[in-house]
Amino acid sequence: MTTHTIRIESLDAEVECREDQNILDACLRNGVWLPHACTHGTCGTCKVDVLEGDVDHQDASEFALMEYERNEGKTLVCVATPESDVVIDADVEAEEGVVMHPVRDYKGVVSALEDCARETKRITIDLDNPIEFNAGQYVQVTLPNTDGEFRSWSMANSPKDASQIELAVRRTPGGKGTDGWIFKDLKVGDEVTIAGPYGRFFVRTAKEKPIIMIGGGTGLSPLKSMVKHVIEEETGQVMHLYHGVRGADDLYDVDYFRQLQDEYEDQFFYHPCLSEEDGVEGTSYGLVTDVIDDDFKTLRGMVAYICGPPPMVEASLKMLMKKRLFPRDTYREDFFDSSDKETGGTRSPLMRTN
């Protein structure tokens, strides 16, 4: 297979990349970290300038990478493959105290599989080697009987649990990775192929401010990893975790978080929110954003982490800014799927995806 040299001008770094390999993958596997989020050409976080050389844009969304941007020499490195030696300029912001771990391949065996909520399964996978990651990041899981097709799911385990990962996966009607595999054929003992870690949505423990976490559905997973990490590392941040779902049957890990709240009563506060079911003991009724709006007069001086469907993330951003919490202290992860590539999903003009 022909390889080409990729030079990242802003980092003064070079990597080799196969013609069938996307540029982001080549960089991450060689310890060169570039901003990214969805890794399938939908969100636009990994957009760079191509200064020299030619690339194939592959199936980048026309909404994330518009025609005029392609003509101006921009590309999405999470899907773009090189057709020659390439020089790119990427907007990389170094964060003090943050270590980014290179992407590696892992073999795993499913050790537990259970229904944890309505249309949601918890999958526990034992890995052949420990995975180094920052709490909140995700992995790519290769779908069986495909030519390397994958799906991305966030890890709910903490970095200390590096030999075993926990995923929570909600069924997508007609989804190849869910209806066609996890909810159909997957069983304990099956072998899986995993790559990771990916993403820049992770807890910044160097920030000593109180934390508010907002998760929609299985957007709880990376937040669970963050909560575990903050407690295990004894970094001391006070955490308010809001989990928004439609009904009580969509909640999961309720007992775990309530026990954690009892044990760390001055540090951790758990708030399950039901948007379509009232009168359930121990929960709040209403949209998660409305519940937070009622609970806090201001959020000034806090740090926010938001994960879930794009509409919920957008609504959360508006609410947070109304409460005086601005983008510099807000981190987000939107759950995009293949349909978002066709429609563009929901994007905020105020902030890039974290």
Q: What is the pLDDT of residues 98-133, one digit of tens each?
A: 889 999 999 999 999 999 999 999 999 999 999 999
The per-residue pLDDT of the chain, averaged, comes to 92
What's the predicted TM-score (pTM) here?
0.89
3-state secondary structure of 261: helix
Instruction: For residue range 200-240, list pLDDT tens digits in order.
Output: 999 999 999 999 999 999 999 999 999 999 999 999 999 99
How high is the pLDDT of residue 256? 98
Angle formed by the axes of helices 254-263 and 220-233, to 10°?
Answer: 30
How high is the pLDDT of residue 348? 34
How high is the pLDDT of residue 166? 98
* Residues 132/143/76/168 CA torsion (nearest 10 deg): -60
Tokens 């970290």 belong to residue? 33
How high is the pLDDT of residue 232? 97
Which structural domains are found in the chain, ordered by start? 3-89 (3.10.20.30), 104-198 (2.40.30.10), 211-343 (3.40.50.80)
Tokens 């709240």 belong to residue? 261
Phi–psi pair at 244, nearest 5 degrees: -105, 125
Is the alpha carbon torsion for 315, 317, 229, 165 positive or negative? positive
Banded pLDDT at 350 (limits 50, 70, 90): very low
Amino acid at 331: Y
CA–CA gap between residue 215 and residue 206 (Å, rounded): 22
Closest CA to 227 of 155, 286, 326: 155
Has residue 141 got a pLDDT over 70?
A: yes
Closest CA to 79 of 51, 62, 57: 57
